[in-house]
Structure 1
Amino acid sequence: MAGCSDKYIVLHPVGPVAQKEYHLIVLSTIICAIVVIPVIALLIFIIYRYRDTPDNKAPYEPHWSESKLLETIWWGIPIIIVIILGVLTVRDTYSLAKEPVNPKKAKPLTIQVTSLDWKWLFIYPDQKIATVNYAEIPANVPVQFELTSDAPMNSFWVPQLGGQEYTMPGMKMRLWLEANKTGTFFGSGANFSGEGFAHMQFNVTSTNQADFNSWVKGIKQSSPALTQSGYDHLAQKGLAKVQSFSSVPNGLFDKIVEKNGHHMTGDMKNEYPKMKQKDNMSGMDMKH
């Protein structure tokens, strides 16, 4: 906690995904406290009750070996807690892999994210624009982040909007997030990836739909195009400032995934075409 900011942003969720995860954190903490607090209390009691002092009247029982009742309690309660936590975690994990329920029936926004050394590239395929080290989204609209890496494996994380998801070369991961109010939210890479790791930070700004549309229009009118050679330069190791691009090469994101897919070996190479064909992957079987 000493490393957190004053706001403890993980505990200030903004949006349905982060709120569900926050409730799971709180519930898990309460359930675990059922074990932790009694264990600490018993430790203090035992140290005091059976301390080695001349006036201690605690009974001396050198031949005592076991208690089926006590063993049932101290094994049974943790087993029950693990089962409860497992069920709740699996339930929420699978539910969050789906598109959030949006009462306003807003059309989801897709953003293709590529982690590089040491910067983030955000491509808006429908708007045909791109940004570096920042993203803008409309409030109350589900956002589908498609994630990959053109560098070492990393992890995409916007704490106030939801949990992290890995970015892996040759893989297309998915993460649904949504902001239920306007604001600017801190994001970063959550995996160590070399010298510039500490600088892999970005902001996600949530605005109303009209402001988002104006922002897209402004990018198209005032920003340069991202060419293939421009991307190749951007992908080289090094830091990068905040940038915007009025257009991107057609299919750039899929080409990045495909390019790194050629470097897979064994089961990963066999599995990638299946996942690409399904195109609905929200996680990864870590056996592959």
Structure 2
Amino acid sequence: MRQTILAVLSLSTLAALLTGCGGDMVLLNSKGPVAQGQSDLMMTAIYLMLLVVIPSIIMALWFGWKYRASNKDADYKPTWAHSTAIEIVVWGVPVIIIGILAYLTWWGSHKYDPYRPLESEKAHLDIQVIAEQFKWVFIYPEQQIATVNEVRFPEKTPVSFKITSNFTMNSFFIPKLAGQIYAMAGMQTQLHVLADETGEYRGFSSNYSGYGFTQMRFKAHSVTEADFNNWVAAVKAGNGTSVNPEAQQKTVLDAAEFATLKDGDRSKHQIEAMLKNAHTPEEKAKAEEAERKGPFPTKPHPVTYYSSVEPNLFESIINKYMSNYHGADHSSPASHAETVGAEHATASVEE
């Protein structure tokens, strides 16, 4: 009986947490129509499943009490074998619930398809997202600016994210605004979001991609339209730090600058061990490359603003990987980004 009481208390505590009574449950504290709809779907599914779980718990407790050894008045039917009513309940109710869940899944998959543009009287704001090692790069093609580890957009304005990766697969996630969507090299995924109000929302990578992936965190700012326009103007003028004093302001994000953003994927001790144990030319080359890239980050890359962006940089990042399959020209700016970045780093070391 003691174990049963503990189980009931545990389930009650979990239910309280799921309703948001336990604090700021991000997935249940949505700030946009997409995340709110997904949250409602999740809670509806939980409530439907509780239609089976709660009666099952109650009956388990009731049966144990009614047919306890000390209850001499309980019915004793050793030859009982079948009950049509029980069969209808134990099979019919779950089938109905599964049918409802199947419909909700089909409806929700189409209603909240991340590729489906949101209906709004306002024009969409296009933002290109690149998962870099280990940070997030945001390019505003219409405004011709770029940021690292920070994204800003006006409230009540639909935002269209176009997402890719410049290394392994990652997952772009702003829990309060929408579900996660994968970022993959050589491919473009999409995500449409809208913030109902101004605020600062947490964004991060929800897919393991190496030792430094825990530092792939960024802030998403929903601001008024006037504040957004002022921020864009400040960044283009090279004065973005007037809006965010903690940020760094730079000039142009081109292929060479983009190549310098890539972090190393080994720890300091691993690099030292590689340099110490390298004997063959191949091992020495790998060790020198690891030393050039440096260790993986132990804290997120600082927020950085770029007042201009090389045209079609986002597309060139995708094409760099697609060229391996289609025999395209490798001479695009981004195809040489890592080479140029390596040359710059080598020249800096020699100096």
TM-score where L is the length of structure 2: 0.69
Query: Taking structure 1 as reference, are residues 70 and 137 closer, same or farther at Cα in structure 2, changes over 3 Å only?
Result: same
* Unpaired runs of at least 5, structure 2: 1-13, 239-249, 265-295, 327-351
Q: Kindly provide the CA deviation profile for residues 212-260 of structure 1, in whole angstroms up to 9, marking residues without a partner as x.
A: 1111111111132112111112134344221111122221111222223
Query: Taking structure 1 as reference, are residues 163 and 80 closer, same or farther at Cα in structure 2, changes over 3 Å only?
Result: same
Tell me the equivalent position of 1:252: 313
Work out the CA distance in 2 between the residues paired with 1:186 and 1:255: 29
Within-5 A mapping of 1:167-246: 167-222=183-238, 223-237=250-264, 238-239=296-297, 240-246=301-307
Tell me the equivalent position of 2:165: 149
Tell me the equivalent position of 1:124: 140
Q: Report if aligned partners of 2:162, 2:190 keep a CA contact under 8 Å in 1.
A: yes
Work out the CA distance in 1 between the residues paired with 2:105 and 2:204: 24
Work out the CA distance in 2 between the residues paired with 1:71 and 1:194: 51
Q: Report if aligned partners of 1:160, 1:185 keep a CA contact under 8 Å in 2.
A: yes
Larger fraction in helix: 2
Q: Is 1:134 matched up with 2:123?
A: no
Query: Taking structure 1 as reference, are residues 59 and 86 closer, same or farther at Cα in structure 2, changes over 3 Å only?
Result: same
Q: CA deviation at 1:68?
A: 3.3
Q: Report if aligned partners of 2:254, 2:313 keep a CA contact under 8 Å in 1.
A: no
Q: Kindly provide the CA deviation profile for residues 160-204 of structure 1, in whole angstroms up to 9, marking residues without a partner as x.
A: 111111112222111110011111111111111221222211110
Work out the CA distance in 2 between the residues paired with 1:252 and 1:47: 68
Q: Kindly provide the CA deviation profile for residues 51-85 of structure 1, in whole angstroms up to 9, marking residues without a partner as x.
A: 4x254443343433333332222222222212212
Q: Report if aligned partners of 1:96, 1:176 keep a CA contact under 8 Å in 2.
A: no
Percentage of identical aligned residues: 36
Tell me the equivalent position of 1:17: 34
Match of 1:7 among 14, 24, 45: 24
Q: CA deviation at 1:128?
A: 1.1
Query: Taking structure 1 as reference, are residues 62 and 197 closer, same or farther at Cα in structure 2, changes over 3 Å only?
Result: farther
Question: C-alpha root-mean-square deviation of aligned residues, in Å?
Answer: 2.2
For CA contacts below 8 A with separation 6 or more, give which structure has more relative contact order.
Answer: 1
Tell me the equivalent position of 1:94: 110
Counterpart of 2:258, as a letter, is Y
Partner secondary structure for residue 144 of structure 1:
strand
Work out the CA distance in 2 between the residues paired with 1:40 and 1:263: 57
Q: Kindly provide the CA deviation profile for residues 86-112 of structure 1, in whole angstroms up to 9, marking residues without a partner as x.
A: 21232122122322222xx11100111
Larger Rg: 1 or 2?
Answer: 2
Q: CA deviation at 1:207?
A: 0.8
